[in-house]
Amino acid sequence: MNRWLTLFLLTLGLLGTGPTLARDYDDVMAGMRLTPEQAEALEARLDADSNDLQARSQIVVYYKGKSIMDPAIRDVHSRHVLWLIANAPRADVLAYPFATIDPFNNAEGYLEGKRAWIGHLEEEPKNVKIHGNAANFLSDRQDRALVVGILQKVQSLDPGNSRWPVLLGHLYLREAMFGGKGLKMPEGIDVDDLDLPDGLAGLFKTTPADATASAAMALEQFERAVEVAESDMERTSLLGELATAAFLAERYDDARAHATAVLQSEPGPFSRESGTHKANIILGRLALVEDDVALASYHLLEAGKVEGSAPLGSFGPNMSLAAELLERGEKDVVLEYFELCSKFWPSDKLADWTALVEGGRMPDFGGNLVY
């Protein structure tokens, strides 16, 4: 299972997204398992009946993963997604990431889909499904204000559903962790001189984000989600997000309480290993806020002792605490952490980072500072 799908399915399990997505899960998984021959048969079904939503939904799922590296398949995938947006905007598959178009790889397709969704929103301003599907399609990196507005609107339309504050909370949390970065302009091209169709240049503009303020807004949304959650399992599944958002918002007592609760909670629908890992990272960083290096080192090693999980095995371990300890000269404990992590993440990166640390250098941990 690839990285973005692993992350989405984990998130889906955490969101408590309700019966609509859960009911459609089998169709999604069927699309992931299609053989080329089966995909060709589905295309034939669509030639005979363009309104066969099951066939089109499964073919969208099938093509999504293959579209990342193949421009030809990307065009075919986008064509099916745009057909669904235009003709079946309530289709369940449009709530999944398989039904999105990358604005960097296909800016014109993204803008066509965006215009179609705006039209549907104007025609049906109180339709919860339309709002949810539109929010899924639109890129919050490029159309932040629009996505935030849609999610705020759908919360008012469907206030008892925890899915909406969780989605908005994750948007704010991504901003807190990554910043409001736009797409990278191709080398040698000046966006101001770019001869692009109307609206495309805007995809490459950046919007700075205040990390602390974004984290505080994320925390508020996750707290709201807990208030309307329908089960203890759903509330427990949000503890990791609460801990991370509280730490980044500098609400350290709340962060400690939520991270500790993660360690004390019963296993959820997914492995608790990822939660244990991240909770220890938060507790270790809290220890460093108080200059307790020994306690921080303890939590780093506890984070490395987990057995692994799908997200950890794909994205790898979090390195934020390791980096902070390296800045304090704690090389040995970080090297021990690398060794522990190699049991569930046998990546060449760990060997590279080990060599750098042994040589007295700070690795570029990249995305592992926030995973």
Task: Identify the residue whose tokens are 């500072």.
Answer: 369
What are the contacts of 209-212 at 24+ separation with CB within 8 A? 209/175, 209/176, 209/179, 209/180, 211/175, 211/176, 211/177, 211/179, 211/248, 212/176, 212/248, 212/249, 212/250
Q: What's residue 112's pLDDT? A: 97
Query: Which of these, 95, 134, 103, 98, lies nearest to 117 by C-alpha position?
Result: 134
Per the prediction, the chain carries an average pLDDT of 86
Average pLDDT over residues 179-199: 47
Amino acid at 65: G
pLDDT at 192 over 60: no
Task: Identify the residue whose tokens are 């080329």.
Answer: 36
Q: What is the tens place of the pLDDT at every residue in 288-301?
A: 999 999 999 999 99
Average pLDDT over residues 105-124: 96
Split at pLDDT 50, 70, 90, the class of 186 is: very low
pTM of the entire predicted model: 0.83
Q: What's residue 271's pLDDT? A: 57
Q: Are 316 and 371 in contact (CB under 8 A)?
A: yes
Task: Identify the residue whose tokens are 């899915």.
Answer: 163
What is the C-alpha separation between 275 and 100, in angstroms, rounded?
28
% of residues, the chain, pLDDT over 90: 71
**Exposure letters 310-333 (e unless 16+ CB within 10 A, then b):** bbbbbbbbbbbbbbbbbeeebeeb
pLDDT at 108 over 50: yes
Q: What's residue 270's pLDDT? A: 52
pLDDT at 330 over 80: yes
Query: Which of these, 340, 301, 306, 342, lies nearest to 321 by C-alpha position?
Result: 301
Split at pLDDT 50, 70, 90, the class of 109 is: very high
Average pLDDT over residues 250-264: 96
What is the C-alpha separation between 252 and 315, in angstroms, rounded?
26
Q: Are 199 and 111 in contact (CB under 8 A)?
A: yes
Q: What is the tens place of the pLDDT at every residue in 271-292?
A: 588 999 999 999 999 999 999 9
